[in-house]
Structure 1
Amino acid sequence: MRAIVQTEYGSTDMLSLEEVDKPVLPDNGVLLRVHAASVNAGDWHLMRGTPFLIRLMFGGLLKPKIKILGFDVAGRIEAVGKDVTQFQPGDEVFGDLSECGFGAFAEYTCATESALVLKPSATTFEEAATVPGAALAALQGLRDVGHIQSGQKVLINGASGGVGSFAVQIAKAFGAEVTAVCSTQKMEMVRSLGADRVIDYTQADVTQNGQHYDLMLDAAAYRSVFDYLPVLTTEGTYVMVGGSTPRFFQVMLLGAWISRTSRRRVKCLASKPNQKDLVTLRELMVAGKIAPFIDQCYNLSEVPAAIRHLEQRQVKGKVAIRV
């Protein structure tokens, strides 16, 4: 089979399209013919091996143990292991491979059945493949960490990106009033997702507009968390989902202290893939409450170009890979 392979940490120059052996079907897993995948920030962090914590978490201090990247996947099941009970050959599925070896940037991959759910029939493979990682982070950030409630005022920073675009839609599905922050050229796209108000951060500073929010989901944390505390209500919650490494460590190190010394809560999402939440996302898709916004679709051989495109941080929504 063909796959995008990496043997050294570094830039996209370290990625190459190669012929490799098809994966061996485990007893408790399925062999998936990959139809589509998508690119996430986690892919370029794994590719580059930065921050260094990535190497400690996924192994390979000097060389990557994960040879084939990609964890968002959609495809058709070719074969099932003898212990599999949920699926059968021919089922169209989508899911998250981050806890079963990655490997979505290939023509075939193996996955445990708990990493997958059935794809909605009206959803294309490319659309389904953009959902798992980003939408799951948005769902868990809003619901599990932020404890979103109907009627709350929710602020979403980085609303035009992968996580942010799903967060706008999921917050609306929970009945929240959503204010979204993005750049000028992405405002119409964010409005189309259902945001009640869109702020152009190049023209206005959301921390200076006098508004207060019950919950802020920060999918583009490049400013200090202290800048955002004044825009939260007295019992508001700040949830960091994505952004720079310094901001991540700031929230990790100071979040508990801020939460103890004020009534505001400052937290960082540790996303946990699970089948139950994938089912929830599937139900939201079927109900028409969330739909991916695909900025561009690349072929398998173009994965390096897709990652470079994502690294420029100008993507609207998601980048899909057609396999």
Structure 2
Amino acid sequence: MKSIQITRYGGPEVLTYAERPRPSAKPEEVIVKVHAASINSADRRIISANPWFIKLAFGWNKPKVTGLGTDFSGEIVELGKDVTKWKVGDMVFGDMSNLKLGTLAEYLAVPAKVIAQKPTRLSHVESASLPLASRTALEAIRDHGKLSKGQHILIVGASGGVGNSAIQLAKAHGGIVTAVCSTKNVEKALELGADHVIDYKRKSLADNDVKYDIILGVNAYEKPCVYAEQLKPGGKFIYLGGGMPTLYRTFFFKKIIARKYRISVSIVQLKNTVEDLNILAEMADKGSLKPVIERVIPFEEGIERLVENGSRSASGKWVFTL
């Protein structure tokens, strides 16, 4: 079967097309014929081993995991002998972020317990755009933020996979949403339901005099104290991604920041639960969660587009068709 893989860390030159044997299902696995797969920032970080501590999880001298791609949507073509919930022909989706990655391949061996039925209203391309990004946003808003109706939430980095989902999920939880994004994404943020938008190219967040109950740092590059000063007493700063200096400061000084500003500070560490996939599928089928896809790319152009994706900021998900 065809796949895209890496065998060492580095730049674009480490990406290769490879022919690999089709996997066989272990007793508790299913084999999925992949129709569409998407990438996330994690793929770019793994390729370049940036930040350096990526190597602690994925291998110090070279990657232990050679496949790329986290999200997928496709059709079950084989069942392990202990699998009873699914049948051949079922259309499913999921992500491999807590497993071994590698969704940019024709076939996947996946534990049956971590997949969910694909949203019936969505295509495979649309379904493949949702799992990791939308679960990240859901966990941040529901579990870390505990957002309730009428609370004010500021989403920093309200574009791309996580940001676009966060706007919609925050509205679904009754939040009053302010989105922070660049000029080119302002209209999309409003279309997705944002009540207010701050164009960071025209207005600094430090100049904003509104206080929030929750700040979601989807793409956070300011010092944590900048966000802390925008929160009400008892507010919550939730870091999901962004600049490494912001991550380091948040990680090492979160207790000091929390005490000084009388807020809570947390960093999202994603859990892989099929229950959340089912929630996302239900929301998508009801129309309350809409995929935002920037590019649909044939697999044969995968390496070229992966290189391009790493050199620019995305406004929506990039999905590869197989």
Question: Quick one: which amino acid aligns to residue 275 of structure 1?
Answer: V
Please state how far the C-alpha of 1:310 moved relative to its aligned partner.
2.9
Match of 2:272 in 1: 273
Q: Is the 8 A contact 1:100 1:112 kept in 2?
A: no
Residue 98 of structure 2 is aligned to residue 99 of structure 1: yes
Equivalent residues in 2 for 1:150-229, closer than 5 Å: 150-229=149-228
Match of 1:292 in 2: 291
> Could you report, residue by residue, the CA deviation over 1:207-259 in whole angstroms, capped at 9, with x for unpaired residues?
32211110010111111111111111111111011102221111111112222
> Could you report, residue by residue, the CA deviation over 1:271-300 in whole angstroms, capped at 9, with x for unpaired residues?
111111111111111121111110011111
Match of 1:32 in 2: 32
Q: Is the 8 A contact 1:39 1:310 kept in 2?
A: no
Q: Is the 8 A contact 2:34 2:106 kept in 1?
A: yes
Q: Is the 8 A contact 1:168 1:195 kept in 2?
A: yes
SS of 1:234's equivalent in the other structure is strand
Equivalent residues in 2 for 1:1-150, closer than 5 Å: 1-58=1-58, 60-150=59-149
Change (3 A) 1:189 1:312: farther
Kindly tell me the number of residue pairs found equivalent between the two proteins.
322
Please state how far the C-alpha of 1:308 moved relative to its aligned partner.
2.8
Q: Is the 8 A contact 1:256 1:267 kept in 2?
A: no
Question: Quick one: which amino acid aligns to residue 205 of structure 1?
Answer: S
Please state how far the C-alpha of 1:262 moved relative to its aligned partner.
3.6
SS of 1:121's equivalent in the other structure is coil
Please state how far the C-alpha of 1:54 moved relative to its aligned partner.
1.2
Please state how far the C-alpha of 1:11 moved relative to its aligned partner.
1.4
Please state how far the C-alpha of 1:112 moved relative to its aligned partner.
0.5
Q: Which runs of no fewer than 5 residues in structure 1 stay unpaired?
A: none
Please state how far the C-alpha of 1:52 moved relative to its aligned partner.
2.1
Cα distance between partner residues in 1 of 2:36 and 2:21: 19
Task: Give the TM-score normalised by the residue count of structure 2.
Answer: 0.97
Q: Is the 8 A contact 1:284 1:290 kept in 2?
A: yes
Percentage of pairs with the same residue: 36
Cα distance between partner residues in 1 of 2:85 and 2:243: 39
Q: Is the 8 A contact 1:309 1:315 kept in 2?
A: no
Q: Decide which moves more: 201-210 or 167-176.
A: 201-210
SS of 1:62's equivalent in the other structure is coil
Change (3 A) 1:19 1:61: same
Question: Quick one: which amino acid aligns to residue 50 of structure 1?
Answer: N
Q: Which runs of no fewer than 5 residues in structure 2 stay unpaired?
A: none
SS of 2:229's equivalent in the other structure is helix
Q: Is the 8 A contact 2:228 2:261 kept in 1?
A: no
Cα distance between partner residues in 1 of 2:200 and 2:98: 36
Q: Is the 8 A contact 1:38 1:73 kept in 2?
A: yes
Cα distance between partner residues in 2 of 1:101 and 1:287: 31
Question: Quick one: which amino acid aligns to residue 238 of structure 2?
Answer: V
Cα distance between partner residues in 2 of 1:306 and 1:26: 33
Q: Decide which moves more: 257-266 or 103-112.
A: 257-266
Question: Quick one: which amino acid aligns to residue 44 of structure 1?
Answer: R
Question: Quick one: which amino acid aligns to residue 170 of structure 1?
Answer: L
Match of 1:232 in 2: 231
Superposition RMSD in Å? 1.2
SS of 1:267's equivalent in the other structure is strand
Q: Is the 8 A contact 1:159 1:182 kept in 2?
A: yes
